[in-house]
Amino acid sequence: MNYLQIKGHQQLVGEVVISGAKNAALPLLASTILSQNEINIGNVPNVVDINTLLKLLGMLGASYDRYNNHVKISTVDINETKATYDIVKTMRASILVLGPLLSRFGHCEVSLPGGCAIGQRPVDLHLKALEQMGATIEIKNGYILATCPDGLKGSTIVFDKVTVTGTENIVMAAALAEGTTIIINAAKEPEVVQLCEVLRDAGLDIKGIGTDTLAIVGTNKKLLNFKEFDIIPDRIEAGTYLCAGAITNTKLTITNVIPMHLDAVLSKFQEMGFGIQKDDSTVTILPADEIKPSHIVTTEYPGFPTDMQAQFMALATQANGVTIIDEKLFENRYMHVSELLRMGADISLNGSTATVTGKRNNLNAADVMATDLRASSALVLAGLVAKGETKIHRIYHLDRGYEDLEGKLSNIGAQVKRFNE
């Protein structure tokens, strides 16, 4: 097992090229199950979660070729509809094959998902929606057994709460259904928007893209004709590197981004005293005269993303005063707190609220353990400003979502190395 060693108190300088968005690539790769043709996809990040999903698609019968950051994939010859536990257990996003498999073949078996332990992310909303579309769902031996011999039927789906993967799954299920599906309270994240746009460009009649109400006219099992496309930039990776510039209070530029996707995050940086410069595809963060405390509330897009909460908590340890963080989306997403406390942070928890009392240069190096993907990046950020050499263990979490993290950090002046335990 690998760990990262980070030497603190290093000055960062330069720019970071942002990779494609993992959370956009996963549903888009799953959506290729709906395609009648081979597809070229660009800007695909080389991270473990993507490789896991490609392996799963290969096990189902798809063929693919990966070169640099491109994937050429064909699902025309898929002949298996069971997503086994051995592969699904490592990644919750595997549930995204449920909708397209069921819509195309009328039956599938998908293991209940695993992945990050950041609280419950139940698939009940997915299953309830599929049942409304005519599917019969049974949970047996840890598998979701879904059947609809006569095909899925269009229906009006009202999500009780906003669900990103739920929206994506039902959009894909509706694509090959018979009739029109209306999704009310749909997620509006950029990753959902790109999925809808790619399906629209493949010939699907879909309206309301980017709003909370989607209308999809199914093709009645006629496969789609996908066009070549590129994955959008990863807004969470972008925000993480901007936090690296912020926590070290240095000027740092990120390129290959869509600044509009970062509006809530950039606004919070400005509130904390940092300058922001941006153009069509770059953002530069400028040092603050004083890092100010803030109040952060996580919520659905376009609000502040839960996937940036841990990184901003690390940043808040360096602010001059008390920062309040309200985690509204996941009940167990403060597992990084105990590790930051090991490094000298002053953080107290009360339910879903964290109170961070910050002070510049207050962290000391320690051996810490990553507990989930974004918590891992918070520990990396803390290590950049801690006194001494921080060792971060169980970094396989990082590898699930950050492409060449130590390479990108080294290129901007960080002293970070990977070792075997």
Longest dimension (CA), the chain: 65
Residues in the chain, overall count: 421
Report the C-alpha gap between 85 and 153 in whole angstroms: 28
DSSP for 22-39, please give it: HHHHHHHHHHGGGBSS-E
- Report which residue type is found at 281: S
- Give the C-alpha distances (Å, rounded to integers) separating 294 from 1, 137, 313: 37, 45, 10
Residue 250 structure tokens: 């240095």
Within 10 angstroms of residue 233's Cβ, the number of other Cβ atoms is: 25
Query: CA 87 from chain center: how many Å?
Result: 18
SS3 144: strand
Catalytic positions, written as ranges: 116
Distance, in Å, from the CA atom of 413 to the CA atom of 236, rounded to the nearest integer, reads: 21
Report the distance separating Cα 213 and Cα 186, nearest Å.
6
C-alpha radius of gyration, the chain, whole number = 22
Q: Which H or E run contains 198?
A: helix 190-201
In three-state secondary structure terms, 70 is strand
**Is-contact 132 160, C-beta < 8 A?**
no
Closest CA to 288 of 296, 276, 278, 301: 276
- Phi and psi based region of residue 157 (left: phi greater than 0; alpha: psi -120 to 50; beta: remaining): beta
